């Protein structure tokens, strides 16, 4: 079923799966995998299925994830290249993040092709 352009996306933090999901209706239109680390989250991978690309879903997910982390007083370590670039383009999030070059990726922080969202 196609996603309606008028539907508002919801973001859910699935702590058991260690990922944020951006949902529109029954569709998962974006994911952000993370690893909890002391005082924060290392965001290791973000993905939007091809059929949902170009609609701003990745940016919306990044924005909500960063606001949620700030609300919870967590520091976000943007290991994911998309999120690192997003933070560079949106300096208003600097206080809630640690620059990716300033920290090594935590153990297990790598893209996870086994967790891809199915189109």
Between the CA of residue 28 and those of 1, 9, 22, what are the distances in Å?
A: 12, 9, 6
Domain parsing of the chain, residue ranges: 10-102
| CATH code of the domain occupying 10-102 | 3.40.630.30
pLDDT tens digits, 40-83: 999 999 999 999 999 999 999 999 999 999 999 999 999 999 99
Question: Encoding tokens for residue 63?
Answer: 């924005």
Determine phi and psi for 49, rounding to 5 degrees. -55, 150
Closest CA to 60 of 29, 85, 33, 91: 29
pLDDT score at 95: 82
Say what percent of the chain tops pLDDT 70. 76
Q: How confident is the model at residue 119, as a pLDDT?
A: 38
Cα gap 35→17, rounded to integer Å: 10
């Amino acid at each position: 079923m196609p996603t309606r352009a008028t539907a508002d996306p919801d973001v859910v933090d699935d702590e058991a799966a260690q990922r944020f999901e951006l949902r529109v209706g029954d569709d998962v239109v974006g994911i952000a995998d993370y690893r909890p680390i002391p005082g924060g989250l290392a965001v290791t991978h973000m993905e939007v299925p091809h059929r949902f690309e170009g609609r701003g879903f990745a940016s919306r997910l990044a924005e909500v994830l960063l606001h949620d982390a700030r609300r919870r007083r967590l520091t976000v370590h943007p290991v994911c290249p998309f999120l690192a670039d997003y933070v560079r383009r949106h300096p208003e999030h600097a206080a809630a993040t640690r620059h990716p070059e300033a920290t090594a990726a935590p153990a297990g922080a790598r893209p996870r092709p086994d967790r891809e969202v199915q189109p």
